[in-house]
Structure 1
Amino acid sequence: MQRVVDFFKDVSREMRKVSWPKRKELTNYTVTVLATVIFFALFFAVIDLGISELIRLIP
C-alpha cells in the first residue's frame, strides 16, 4: 500500500513541474488541430469519392 501512496506523491510532485499552456496558446493549438482534422477529413472524402467513381467506370 505504501508503494501506491509513494507513486501518487511522485505524480503530484511531477505535475507541479509541468509547464501548462496559457489560454491563448491553448486556443491556438485547439484551432490548429481542428483545422487540420477538418482538412484531412475533406481531403480523404474527396479522394474516396474519386476512387469510387473510377471503380464505377470499370465495366
Structure 2
Amino acid sequence: MQRLTKFFRNVVREMKKVSWPKRRELTRYTITVVSTVTFVAIFFAIVDLGISELIRLILE
C-alpha cells in the first residue's frame, strides 16, 4: 500500500511539471488534427473507390 501511495505522489509531482497548452494553442492543434484526419479519410475513400472501380472493370 505504501508503494501505491508513493506512486501517486510522484504522479502528482510530475503532473505539476507538465507544460499544458494554452486555450488558443489547444484550439489550433485540435483544428489541425481534425482537418488532417478528414483529409486523409477523404483521400483514402477516393483511392478505395478508384481501385474498386478498376477491379470491377477488369473482372467484367
TM tier, shorter chain?
over 0.9
Equivalent-residue separation in structure 1 for 2:23 and 2:58 (angstroms): 53
Q: Is there any run of 5+ residues in structure 1 with no aligned partner, and where?
A: none
Q: TM-score, normalised on structure 2?
A: 0.97
- What is the match of residue 33 of structure 1? 33
1:12 aligns with 2:12: yes
Q: TM-score, normalised on structure 1?
A: 0.98
Task: Determine what percentage of the aligned residue pairs are the same residue.
Answer: 69
Q: Is there any run of 5+ residues in structure 2 with no aligned partner, and where?
A: none
- What is the match of residue 2 of structure 1? 2
**What root-mean-square deviation, in Å, do the aligned CA atoms of Structure 1 and Structure 2 show?**
0.5
Moved over 3 A (4+): none
